[in-house]
């Protein structure tokens, strides 16, 4: 079995990719897959200005509905990637990446508590990177109050995702089935995570 990097799934928008091109887009032997996960959602900065009660939890809930076909596309790409390591990423590594990671870990029977803790830990484990993103945004005129909300990793945002997926779909597998995936594809995605 191939052990090196085989596929990179980029969850960012086309604009984000243009501003910070993927180093893998021209790397021979590595599949560069672009799936703009939140493309059906209003851009976060605009959503925050439009809604004084904006929360990440509400954004994630909206993503579960509006981006369901994109979630299915990501899991299909993971399941059917060539042998080797599959990496998925966005810009900050907490919202789009966090939701994919949460669903994948849930499929592998990781407890909700551990999934939420993993998500919250992004603020500390990725603190320097998130700080740099914040500084760059402030230099472009971002509102500091809104930026603080956008760069946070509140536990209730991810717990809300997991609760919705559980209550409305019976779990991550049910959510992905409703989004159009077969059990075989879902199982292959889990196998990629656990190395089966």
Confidence of residue 1 (pLDDT cuts 50, 70, 90): very low
Domains in the chain (CATH in brackets) are 5-189 (3.90.190.10)
> Structure tokens of 85?
């390591």
C-alpha span between 79 and 81 (Å, rounded) = 6
- From the list 116, 109, 99, 111, the residue with the least C-alpha distance to 179 is 99
Q: Write the secondary structure of 122-135 as one string of H (helix), E (strand) and C (coil).
A: HHHHCHHHHHHHHH
Alpha-carbon gap, residue 15 to 119, rounded angstroms: 25
List C-alpha distances in Å: 63 to 7, 35, 38, 44, 58: 24, 14, 7, 11, 9
Strand partners of residue 5: 85
Q: Which helix (H) or strand (E) holds 88?
A: strand 85-89
H-type alpha helices, 55-140 = 56-66, 68-79, 96-107, 112-120, 122-125, 127-139
H/E stretch holding 189 = helix 183-194
The predicted-structure confidence for 99-138, as pLDDT tens digits, reads as follows: 999 999 999 999 999 999 999 999 899 889 889 988 988 8
Distance of CA 55 to the CA centre of its chain: 17
Spatial CB neighbours of 6, under 8 Å, sequence gap ≥ 6? 29, 30, 31, 81, 82, 83, 84, 85, 86
Residue 196 above 80 pLDDT?
Answer: no
Q: Quick one: tokens of 68?
A: 């369901």
- Residue 11 in this model has a pLDDT that exceeds 90: yes
Q: What average pLDDT does the segment 1-14 reach?
A: 85
What is the distance between the alpha carbons of residues 33 and 125, in angstroms, rounded to a whole number? 26
The pTM assigned to this predicted structure is 0.93
């Amino acid at each position: 079995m191939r052990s090196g990097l085989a596929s990179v799934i980029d969850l960012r928008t086309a604009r984000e990719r243009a501003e910070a091109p993927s180093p893998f887009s021209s790397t021979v032997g590595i599949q560069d897959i672009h799936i703009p996960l939140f493309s059906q959602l209003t851009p976060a900065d605009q959503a925050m200005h439009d809604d004084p009660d904006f929360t990440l939890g509400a954004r994630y809930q909206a993503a579960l509905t509006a981006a369901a076909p994109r979630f299915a596309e990501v899991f299909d790409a993971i399941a059917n990637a060539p042998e080797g390591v599959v990496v998925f990423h966005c810009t900050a590594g907490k919202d789009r990446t966090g939701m994919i990671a949460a669903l994948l870990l849930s499929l592998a029977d990781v407890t909700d508590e551990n999934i939420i803790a993993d998500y919250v830990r992004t603020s500390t484990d990725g603190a320097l990177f998130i700080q740099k993103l914040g500084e760059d945004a402030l230099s472009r005129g971002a509102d500091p109050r809104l930026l603080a909300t956008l760069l946070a990793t509140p536990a209730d945002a991810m717990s809300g995702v997991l609760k919705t997926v559980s209550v409305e779909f019976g779990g991550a597998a049910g959510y992905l089935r409703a989004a159009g995936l077969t059990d075989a594809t879902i199982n292959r995605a889990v196998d990629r995570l656990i190395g089966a």
